[in-house]
Amino acid sequence: MRFDHAVIAVRDLAAASERLRAVGFEVRPGGRHLGFGTENAIVRFGLDYLELITVCDEAEAERASARSRALAEFLRGHGSGFVGFALAADDLDDVARRLRAIGQEVEGPTPMRRRRPDGTVLEWRLLIPGAVAWRRPWPFFISWSLPDVERLTVERPGSHLAGVAAVSGISVQVEDLERARALYAAVLGPSAVASDARLAFRVGDLTIELVGPSDGRAPGLARGPGPFELRLRLKDPGRPRPAEEVLPAVLFRYE
């Protein structure tokens, strides 16, 4: 299990890409999710990356799946925001068994494809607790068809003037801390840090922080539970830092 990517929903993919480029991120077109009415752009660090996603075909998105419909609804109601994150796993069937054992229903594994601008088609499978990946207090899970080394020859890590090396942490607001603890522990093991209002889990070098309703740091539940903060590791922590509020409703922090 490792962190794969964070998903930021945007109404205008070109404009959001330019805002990130303006503060030093290399943003590349990702392509269209075939049959789902969505399109993305990629900010790749290594195997981990940021995904900017938008609905490019409303009619196709409405027909495609509950996930695509939920994304379209979020964009209509809220504009842009940090909507989800994925953990990569070799055995999605095993993850599904663990989640079902604690009473959490899942959708999948479901095959997905994305056609890049150069015509290359990338394929993967998704496992989604509760069937919708967006604005939920948990991750969704991904398994790529191409081996990691080959995939990084297709989508190479960027040269970021911002000096960002990796995603180091994610903060997630949850409504029920004990329920969230059970779900995360089922796939990640015991929490590393615990308090009355906060839990933390480690996935490799990444920390996932769960923040309960009583913690004043979280932005509130107007958009529902889910991720609200991305922490990014700088190659040189002493250099000037990029802006922390580059995109609406996404808080970037640097380490």
Separation of alpha carbons 227 and 107, rounded Å = 20
Q: Which of 140-154, 166-180, 241-255 has the lowest mean pLDDT?
A: 241-255
User: Considering the entire predicted model, what is its pTM?
Assistant: 0.92
Q: What is the phi/psi pair of residue 247, to 5°?
A: -120, 145
pLDDT at residue 97, as a whole number: 97
pLDDT at residue 235, as a whole number: 87
pLDDT at residue 197, as a whole number: 73
Q: Is 71 helix (H, G, I), strand (E, B) or coil?
A: helix
**Higher per-residue pLDDT: 215 or 43:** 43
- Give the single-character DSSP code of 214: T
Cβ–Cβ < 8 Å for 13, 29:
no
Q: Which residue has the tokens 């991720």?
A: 227
Burial degree of 207 (CB within 10 A; 0-12, 13-18, 19+): middle
Please, what is the Cα angle at 80 between 223 and 213, to 5 degrees?
Answer: 25
Q: Count of CB atoms within 10 A of residue 39's CB? A: 19
**Higher per-residue pLDDT: 218 or 233:** 233
Domain 164-254 adopts which CATH fold? 2,3-Dihydroxybiphenyl 1,2-Dioxygenase; domain 1 (3.10.180)
- Considering only CA atoms, which of 143, 134, 205 is closest in space to residue 172? 134
**Domain at 2-154: CATH code:** 3.10.180.10
pLDDT at residue 173, as a whole number: 92
pLDDT band at 222 (very low <50, low <70, confident <90, very high): low
Q: Which residue has the tokens 């090396």?
A: 165
Check if 2-154 and 164-254 are the same fold.
yes
Whether residue 119 has pLDDT greater than 80: yes
pLDDT band at 79 (very low <50, low <70, confident <90, very high): confident
Separation of alpha carbons 197 and 199, rounded Å = 7
Average pLDDT, the chain: 90
- The mean pLDDT value for 179-206 works out to 86
pLDDT band at 21 (very low <50, low <70, confident <90, very high): very high
pLDDT band at 219 (very low <50, low <70, confident <90, very high): low
pLDDT at residue 216, as a whole number: 66
- Domain borders along the chain are 2-154, 164-254
- pLDDT tens figures, 98-109: 999 999 999 999
- The mean pLDDT value for 63-90 works out to 90
pLDDT band at 236 (very low <50, low <70, confident <90, very high): confident
- Considering only CA atoms, which of 50, 69, 59 is closest in space to residue 247? 50
Q: Which of 153-157, 188-192, 217-221 has the lowest mean pLDDT?
A: 217-221
Whether residue 186 has pLDDT greater than 90: yes
Tokens of 27: 């943003």
Q: Please measure the distance between the N-terminal and C-terminal CA atoms of the chain and give it in whole angstroms.
A: 23
Tokens of 255: 């380490």
Separation of alpha carbons 95 and 89, rounded Å = 8
Instruction: Using a pLDDT cut of 90, give the percent of the chain over it.
Output: 65
